[in-house]
Structure 1
């Protein structure tokens, strides 16, 4: 006589086709589907990071090129004198236009249509150096300040009309403006050495105006560390120009070609705390 199947064997055979087995298969399929979705999401994120890092490297390269060539423009302007002013400024403005057409245009192409604020640290040094060079040329040409609207108007033709135009960050403009005062200090000292004391006085007034305006804006900038450092340097530049001009006034009899005979000059009569 055949033996009867054991009860636990019957239970196992019944379980292979019961509702518990179906639930287990459903859970397995769900887990596999979730795993595939996570792999796809991770692959897309990895591609995004690779693309972002490659773009960042290109932006850094463009920023370095802008910095190097903008410095060349600044050095060119410092070779200016009364005798060659027009020639030097024409060459500097031509070189500045080349910076825009060759290097800034490449930067705009990389950044336009993207979340360019994520890459600000990568391109900010180049933009600041360009602003320093452009404002330096403008002051030497006209004695006035190149404002942010004029700079953005220069960038506008480089942008794709179908996309929102790339604009210079306000903070980058102010940081570049702070660097400008250092170059103006060097220019003022050089003009005093060349006997152009009235021009040095004009530079001194201009730099003091910039410093005064930025001291008003600085408390609104969330104590930006970069700006704080540059404000300290800017104050040193102001003091150096004022001291140089003041020494010429005090020792005017020793400078036959320097100084101004106008007793109303803005440096005369200032309290010691302002010198």
Structure 2
């Protein structure tokens, strides 16, 4: 019996790595706007989750560790895709196999990817995209305040969320300075048409 459990555990650990790897590749593809590739990676990860689901449901002790971590990574990828493609924060029902804490952990990890995305958009002077990212992270931060997060994985991620929000605020501030500097330069350069003084030719 114990030997069989060990064999099942090894199977779950090995295939959980495949889920995690596919999810990481999906996130990388999303940053490059390679959505078809990201969808393929997510579908691949979902397939492995479906294969492991009966095993994990039959032996709940197999869920902790590798499998739970892989589901968090997959939730992060699914939520990031939802933000970019569907323009919304997907609910936990988008990943039915994930438990509440796994989904919440994935959402918190997603905010880190959203910060990276916002920085890339800032280099393109896309203030609207940066503002939207900031607003989403701020909304997530406000929502998580309602949870009583004790010491643990979620608490650490929540603490990191505060710094992510601060980084986005700084990015917006730097963008506003850049925009203000650009406007000042245009004014100093006489962007408008020069007018002749009244009173005849000079």
Which TM-score applies when normalising by structure 2? 0.84
- The aligned counterpart of 1:91 is 37
Deviation for aligned residue 1:71 = 0.3
Which whole-Å deviations, capped at 9, do the CAs of 1:208-244 have from their partners, x for residues lacking one?
1111111211x1x4x1410111112111111111100
Q: Which residue of 1 aligns with 2:135?
A: 205
Cα RMSD, aligned residues only:
1.6
Gaps of 5+ in 1: 1-47, 81-87, 153-166, 257-275
The alpha carbon displacement at 1:119 in A equals 2.9
| SS of alignment partner, residue 146 of structure 2 | helix
> Aligned to 2:60, which of 116, 132, 140?
116
Contact 1:70–1:133 (CA under 8 A) maintained in structure 2: yes
Check the 8 A contact 1:62/1:106 in 2, yes or no: no
Q: What is the CA distance between 1:110 and its match in structure 2?
A: 2.5
| Partner of residue 73, structure 1 | 26
Please tell me whether residue 64 in structure 1 is matched to residue 17 in structure 2. yes
**Match of residue 170 from structure 2:** 243
**What are the superposed Cα offsets for residues 188-214 of structure 1, whole Å, 9 maximum, x if unpaired?**
000011221101100110011111111
Deviation at 1:255, TM superposition (A): 4.8
2:95 to 145, 151, 164: 151
Residue segments in structure 2 that go unaligned for 5+ positions in a row: 184-202
TM-score w.r.t. structure 1 length? 0.63
Partner of 1:252: 179
Higher relative contact order (CA 8 A, sep 6+): 2
Which residue of the partner structure matches residue 118 of structure 2?
188
Superposed, which structure 2 residues align to 1:1-275 within 5 Å?
A: 48-80=1-33, 88-101=34-47, 103-112=48-57, 114-117=58-61, 119-152=63-96, 167-217=97-147, 219=148, 221=149, 223-255=150-182
In 2, Cα distance between the equivalents of 1:117 and 1:178?
Answer: 25
Alignment deviations for residues 103-162 of structure 1 (CA, whole Å, 9 cap, x no partner):
2223224223x132553223111000000000000100122111112221xxxxxxxxxx
Deviates more, 1:88-97 or 1:70-79: 88-97
Task: Please give the alpha-carbon distance, in whole angstroms, between the structure 1 residues aligned to 2:151 and 2:36.
Answer: 36
